[in-house]
Amino acid sequence: MKRLPSIKQLQYVLALHEHQHFGRAADACYIGQSTLSAAIANLEETMQAQLLERDHKTFIFTALGEDVVRQARHIIEQCEELTEFAKCQGKPMTGPFRLGCIPTIAPFVLSEVMTLCRERYPDLQLLLREDTSENSLHGLAEGRLDMVLLALPYETGAFHTEVLAQDAFKLVLHQDWLDRGFNKDISQWPDESIFLLEREHCLTNHAVKACELEDSRKVNPFFATSLHTLTQMVNNKLGVTFMPQMAINSGVLDGTGLIAQAPGNAAAYRDIGVAWRPTSTKARSYRLMADLITEVLQQKCR
């Protein structure tokens, strides 16, 4: 029988790659450092390949080692899914489901998503993580998430993506500013009069493209950290902004002097979609979850 790497050896090499330190990786695996070192050496012997370049007290992963880490991550992910599949007897929407979501969507839809999941799929354990698109997709690639709910377009690589709904952008301004000329073409607006979120939020890039804000002089260089902060800045008459319909429908403007109206570009919107790994064995669960999220979005985005 052909000699093959063990699952434990692959877990050890992933831990070493994550911690980049033999001592910390050994602690994470609850083994001694010498045991970890011997396991990595045995793995290299089994593969007949050098995974690490070692110096006296340091090491780096070789180019081949980096490739092996990527393959090992995929194998461990498949093994974990196989175990979950067996535990759930092959039934979809049972067991843990790890859903990532970006901050400009999460507060407005996840509560309803969780409610529907409890009603329809009582055997599903829905675990939520709110983070940026970049971090969420990184978690998806490493198998720490099953699905990501995000705004599109966004570079998602080899992941399977589907658009579930369109979320219109609305011009938000103080009711006292209706006569300030913001009904005119954006080119005639005052410089630095538009406030947006920090650039790490993809909502800003989508708003810039959808609302035709290419003239950077119109955008204030001071960026807000959240939609609620953005609301307070505009409510204090510092400028205007563009917000997604789902946030407005969820009451983010309640208790303020702000109003929302259609921007000059009637086609200003962002796509809301999901991404998942096409190699996963949970395709049936992903399809059912996408359908459930679509139901919620149809209510939130209209």
Give pTM, 2 decimals: 0.77
Please check whether residues 128 and 21 belong to one and the same domain: no
Please check whether residues 75 and 105 belong to one and the same domain: no
Choose the final residue of a domain: 29, 54, 85.
85
10: which 2 tokens?
């692959």
Q: Report pLDDT for 266.
A: 61
Q: Report pLDDT for 187.
A: 79
157 falls within a domain: yes
Closest by alpha carbon to 67, among 6, 17, 135?
17
Please check whether residues 15 and 160 belong to one and the same domain: no
276 falls within a domain: yes
Q: How many CB atoms lie within 10 A of CB 87?
A: 12
Please check whether residues 43 and 110 belong to one and the same domain: no
Choose the final residue of a domain: 52, 85, 118.
85
Q: Report pLDDT for 290.
A: 97
* DSSP-derived 3-state class of residue 225: coil
pLDDT along the chain (302 residues), means of 10: 89 93 92 93 92 88 92 88 77 92 94 96 95 94 93 92 94 90 82 85 75 75 89 94 92 93 79 93 92 95 84
Distances (CA, A) of 119 to 116, 157, 292: 5, 34, 11
Please check whether residues 191 and 50 belong to one and the same domain: no
21 falls within a domain: yes
Which residue's entry shows tokens 């999460």? Answer: 106
Alpha helix ranges (H) inside the chain: 7-19, 22-29, 33-47, 63-87, 106-120, 133-141, 202-210, 227-235, 245-249, 283-300
* DSSP-derived 3-state class of residue 283: helix
* Torsion (CA) 29, 35, 41, 42 in degrees, nearest 10: -90
Please check whether residues 77 and 139 belong to one and the same domain: no
Q: Report pLDDT for 63.
A: 92
Distances (CA, A) of 298 to 105, 166, 217, 246: 13, 9, 35, 10
1 falls within a domain: no
**CATH number of the domain where residue 49 is located:** 1.10.10.10
Choose the final residue of a domain: 36, 55, 85.
85
Q: How many CB atoms lie within 10 A of CB 100?
A: 27
Give me the number of domains the chain comprises. 2
Closest by alpha carbon to 302, among 243, 245, 244, 227?
245
Q: Report pLDDT for 184.
A: 80
Q: Report pLDDT for 85.
A: 77
What CA–CA distance (Å, rounded) separates 154 from 21?
34
Please check whether residues 63 and 166 belong to one and the same domain: no
What CA–CA distance (Å, rounded) separates 185 from 266?
13
Contact 92, 292 (CB under 8 A): no
Please check whether residues 99 and 70 belong to one and the same domain: no
2 falls within a domain: no
Domain, as residue range, for 250: 94-301
Q: Report pLDDT for 28.
A: 92
**CATH number of the domain where residue 179 is located:** 3.40.190.290
